[in-house]
Amino acid sequence: MAGDARHNVVFVLGPPGSGKGTQCIKISTEYGYIHLSAGDLLRAERQREGSEFGALIEEHITNGTIVPVEITCKLLENAMIASGGAPGFLVDGFPRNEDNLSGWDREMGPKTNLQFVLFLACPTEVCTQRCLNRGQGRTDDNEESLRKRIQTYNNQTLPIIKHYEKMNLVREIDTSADADSVYEQVRNAFNKANA
Ligand code: C5P
Ligand code: MG
């Protein structure tokens, strides 16, 4: 990436329906951090005419499995470059597994400064109901895909959160309450990180 200053990054992790996107929009409005959702970037790449990865991404999204990091990390880096300057980037829904983590550490680790990991924790039943009711027209917001996504989250993403816990980088917030009261706690975490 161009420039010499390392970009601030906050990873935002949590099960599907935990409110990652909702909270990121609020943070972005107040703090000027740029919201980069790995899932949104992959969906856009899936739709892009001439993309050689469309079919592969579609298969992973339907099955709730994780796209190879070479693809996702490149999309994130391109979006960071395209966005120009910002106080930081909210990297939402990444790193989701061991492959995501090692690929990021290799390619982006030296170019970025990981401030902390925002862990939005929420009971599975609450999350599932939110996804089934949110009506965003997503092909993976159905019971079968959700079961698979939650399985992937439990088996592959939780170990990544544990990895960052060992490094003392995790700020955990319970997101079963409404979005505005959750945000009060989220902003505490941000204010501490930027104090
Ligand atoms: O975060 P979101 O729920 O939008 O992700 C939707 C899907 O996109 C995931 O279930 C997964 O198939 C894919 N994805 C991925 N790698 C990521 C983030 C999302 O493969 N880091
Ligand atoms: Mg999302």
Any idea where the domains of the chain sit in the sequence?
Answer: 8-36+88-193
Q: What integer pLDDT is reported at residue 23 of this predicted model?
A: 98
> Do 124 and 61 meet the contact criterion of CB atoms below 8 Å apart?
no
Q: What integer pLDDT is reported at residue 2 of this predicted model?
A: 45
Q: What integer pLDDT is reported at residue 194 of this predicted model?
A: 83
CATH class assigned to 8-36+88-193: alpha beta
User: What residues flank ion ligand 2 with Cβ within 5 A?
Assistant: 20-21, 39
Q: CA-to-CA distance for 165 and 109, rounded, in angstroms?
A: 17
- The number of angstroms, rounded, from the C-alpha of 36 to the middle of its chain's C-alpha atoms is 8
- Cα 153 to ligand 1 centre (Å): 10
Residue ranges of the chain with pLDDT lower than 50?
Answer: 1-3
- What residue has token string 């796209």? 67
Annotated binding site: 17-22, 43, 65-67, 93-96, 100, 134, 138, 149, 177
